Structure 1
């Protein structure tokens, strides 16, 4: 998870909206991410096992979803009609998941839970780390409005294009890691 690195994507998706809408989107995205990461910390292995899904499949799906969002950012689609329903959807997808709580964060969480080996303090430290990371994420997104005042509308458009390019690269890397995982025989 990369709190400062999410700011350009957050601004590209919400930068032209009101401060109240951006604040609500930041809160919703972080809460969705916290919920998803917590869910996978508690029962991630059981969920993946029950569904017969491996980490490579999770990476591939997240990569494809991020690629769709990246293409929208690069082509400028979806930025002309900000509606309340879309604000909520932007906070949930792509911000909450797969950007904040993406395949990499979910996989890392599952691995760290495995390494805790039933020790209370290990679980407590992992829970504290999850909460602290999400607090830092919220602070970065919540106060991203300062950047808007500096870069203005043309800067937000530029940030959207850069964020789209970076998201496309992240998406391609996730798909490549997925393919590598399937070839290596990981499930």
Structure 2
């Protein structure tokens, strides 16, 4: 099991990637023509799908890498680059703003595009796989699962109070939150890349 600070970093990075607060305006836009009952079903399916996708990455991600012959250090570098690009984008953007958002009448939008690729996309899965590889103990996997549960719970809270957000949350506050998360994510991404490079080229760090 790792130190508690490492799990704090993982939790912060996963929160930054999923960005539950920034997902609120996207969810509202996609479900604008749904009834309250349909909107509730869509929210529940989205939360379950995000949790399931991240758990698959936790439990099977390393095996998938092995099947394709990809080293964890190479994946760490690639994941770090993805996270860095996402962080930089978040620093410059106005939050989640997917192009050509269309209203939908059913709950399938919970899977695409809400779960994939907006919330539990490559960036989130990369973070889970990289951190999962750092220890093989059962407590480590339980801690990672706990972090995923906390992120899913934060997403549930944001969706639970959609009506409150519509009335009180300004676009400026969403932008500010997204940019702060982007800065934290970029810093964590740099550590990912540095660790991957060190693993791929250990001779560069001898002496």
3-state SS of paired residue (1:79): coil
Structure 1 match to 2:156: 142
- Structure 1: stretches of 5+ with no match in the other structure: 116-121
The answer to whether the 8 A contact 1:9-1:164 is kept is: no
- In 2, Cα distance between equivalents of 1:4 and 1:75: 18
- Structure 2: stretches of 5+ with no match in the other structure: 1-9, 32-38
The answer to whether the 8 A contact 1:66-1:94 is kept is: no
Q: CA deviation at 1:158?
A: 0.8
TM value normalised by structure 1: 0.68
Q: CA deviation at 1:10?
A: 2.5
**More moved, 77-86 vs 163-172:** 77-86
Q: CA deviation at 1:166?
A: 1.9
Structure 2 match to 1:63: 80
Of Structure 1 and Structure 2, which has the larger fraction of its residues in helix? 1
The residue correspondences of 1:79-158 to structure 2 (distance < 5 A) are: 79=97, 81=99, 82-83=101-102, 88-93=112-117, 95-103=119-127, 105-113=128-136, 115=137, 122=138, 131-145=145-159, 146=161, 148=165, 151-158=169-176
- In 2, Cα distance between equivalents of 1:110 and 1:132: 16
The aligned length equals: 170
- In 1, Cα distance between equivalents of 2:47 and 2:12: 12
- C-alpha spacing 1:23/1:53, structure 2 compared with 1 (3 Å): same
Once the two structures are superposed, residues 98-135 of structure 1 have per-residue CA deviations (whole angstroms, 9 ceiling, x without a partner) of: 444334x324434544x5xxxxxx5xx67655554433
The answer to whether the 8 A contact 2:13-2:188 is kept is: no
- C-alpha spacing 1:150/1:38, structure 2 compared with 1 (3 Å): farther
